[in-house]
Every structure is written in C-alpha cells, then in structure tokens.
Structure 1
Amino acid sequence: MIGDWIPSLLGGLGVSLKLTALSLGLGLPLGLLLALGAASTRRGLRAVVIGLVELGRGTPALVMLQIVYFGLPAGGLTFSAFISAGISLALTTGAYTSEIIRGGLQAVPQGELEASSALGINHRDTLRFIVIPQGLRVALPALLGFSITIFQATSLVYSIAVPELLGKAYSIGSETFQYLSVLFLAGLMYAAITIPGSWLSGRVEHRLSRHV
C-alpha cells in the first residue's frame, strides 16, 4: 500500500521544489535590493526600507500567505494558489535575506572601498564589481541555510490547497485514515532534501572560511 502512495507524494515533492525555486528566484533579488536600500545614505529611503523589512520579518509566513491569497483578490488582483504561495514566500524570503545580505555587504573590508575610491571608480561600479560580489560570497552559507528553511515553509501552502508534499500526504491520509504512516513517509522525503542541503551548506561555509 505504501508503494501506491509514493508516486503521489513524489509529485507533491516536485511541487514543493518548484515553489521553493520560485520563492528564492523572486525573493533573493528582492533581498538584495532591500539590503542596498537599508544601507543607503538617504535617511528617508533607509527608514522606509528598514520599516518594510521589519514588517516582513515580524509577519509569520502563514499570515503573509493568507494576506496574499485572500487579500490581493479583494484589491482586484487574482492569482492562482501556486503563484500566490510563491509571492508570499518570496516576500518573506526578501525580508529575511535582506539582513543576511546586508551583513555580507558590511563585511567587505573598508580598505577595498578606499582603494576603489582612490582609483576613481564611481559608487555604482564599486557596488557592482567589488561590494556585491564579495558580500554575496560572505552571505552564501547563510543564504543556503535559509533556502532549506523556505523549502520546509512550503508545507504551509497546503492551507490554500496547493498540492505540495504535505497537501498530498493529508489527501492520502483522508482517504486511507493512515495519517501516521503517510506523514512519516512525507517526513522522510523532506529529510531527504534538507539533510543533504544542510551538509552542503556546512561544506560551503567550511570551504569559504579557509580563505578568511
């Protein structure tokens, strides 16, 4: 019987991975923009960005999901459940990764910024070619770790009927009443992604730290 569940659960796992990719694809660039805004010398812009970041970090992912799925249609915008889930998780990703990225950007040695200024490199090119590449390199291990968290957070989207892994598991459980078995199997599938992901994150952090 368990063998009959696996194709459906694997299909749900595929949806979870696609949703993770969408969330990170939208959320990481947003996080970079927010990090740059939070580090801006313009007080007004910095205050607005920091306020948005704190609001995003203070709002639980499940609440953000409900706001996007039920709130945007009330404002005239209608998206599928999958897209709504991707947008909500991307907003959460952007808020949290902005602080990770900002920490990486601030870790760039001040001497390199002074050297670029002495060479006559303008501020925009300094960001593009010096600060952002090095800052993202410093932030990479933490960003990989957060990617695992977002993958786990995709389990929340079953609440708006997205057929991801947990949603498939609940569907099977409602038909067979064997919730413990099917949820345990779903948990093993989550672990099959998160454990290697955590190992990879640790390896990347170890390799990068050798050059510090």
Structure 2
Amino acid sequence: MPCYSIEGVVPVIDPSAYVHPTAVLIGDVIVGPDCYVGPCAVLRGDFGRIELKRGSNLQDTCVIHGFPQQDTVVEENGHIGHGAVLHSCIVRRDALVGMNAVVMDEAEVGEATILAACAFVPAGKKIPPRSLAAGIPAKVIRELTDQEVAWKLEGTKTYQDLTKRSLASMKEVTALPAVEANRPRVQAPDVKPLIATKRG
C-alpha cells in the first residue's frame, strides 16, 4: 500500500491488521491489532497523530486528518462507515460512525453510540454514550436499545472477521472474461441491516 514517512515519522501497522493496498498512510499513523482499513481510505498523519485502536475498522474512501498537535483517535471496536471524514476528534469504544458522516475538531462520539449516516458533528460537540444521533448538525434522538447495541457489535465482529479473511486470501488477480459454471459465492457471515433485525 502507499505508505509515506514525513520528517522521519513512519506509519505503524500491527501484523494482525489488514490495510488494503489502495489505502494511503502518511506519517504519524498507528494501526493497531485486528484493525481493518478499506480500499482508498486516507490516513494523513502529517499534522496530528492518527490512531486506530484494537479491533476498529475504517471502511472504503474514509478520510482521517487533523490540525497540528491534535490527535484523531478511533478507540477499541470503533466502526467507521464508508466515506466518513474524521478531523481531530475522538470516536469512543464500540461507537459507530455512519456512512458519509463528518466528525469535526475536538468533537467526541460517545462510547457505544451510533452516529447516523450523513450526520455532521460540529467542532467541540460531545455526543453522549449509548446514543442515537443524527442530522446536520447532529442531535441526540434517543438512547440506544440493547438490540441496537448488539447489532452494532455484531457488525464490528464481521469486520474483524474480514480482517482475518483478507489477510488469509485477498490477492490481486486478473478479472475473468465470463462467469464460470457453478460460480462460488463469498462465504461472508449472515449479518442483516438493522431494519431487517428489528423486523425479526
């Protein structure tokens, strides 16, 4: 993957983490154990430190950056959805940042919180633990149910499993010219969207 030092500071990737070859890591970036970093994610540690702690995932096209001397941290089991942007903020343990959400400077997404897709957390805003927050700017809608917290954890475990699957089997190949007979399917776990889970 494209990995760059700046002023002698080199990114760190734990051997148990998976970072897709198209992700870009620059400078003071620390990817911890069992983390997943998806295709085309950008982690720019050229101003402040970026740290992904154990079991967190950063999905495709996410961007993490920050102001000088300010850290951006995703704590254990943090789950950052496709296209999200994090800037000098903290995502607490077991929290989920939805697709295309933006979390700004010195903001905090609380432990076991779900931040909805496309939400905007303004600079300095603290979203409390175990909340559902949504909107522009993001506002707390209500406390999460036990079912929602369990659903989030199941999704994060699926990405931790994807880390292992990717380390074991992902490789660059040439595409086939046609669909083969008896084409196999990817053996991913059976995880459903939250709406399907609530339907039972």
TM value normalised by structure 2: 0.27
- From the two aligned structures, give the one with the greater helix fraction: 1
Higher share in strand: 2
Larger CA Rg, structure 1 vs 2: 1
Give me the TM-score of the superposition, normalised by structure 1: 0.26
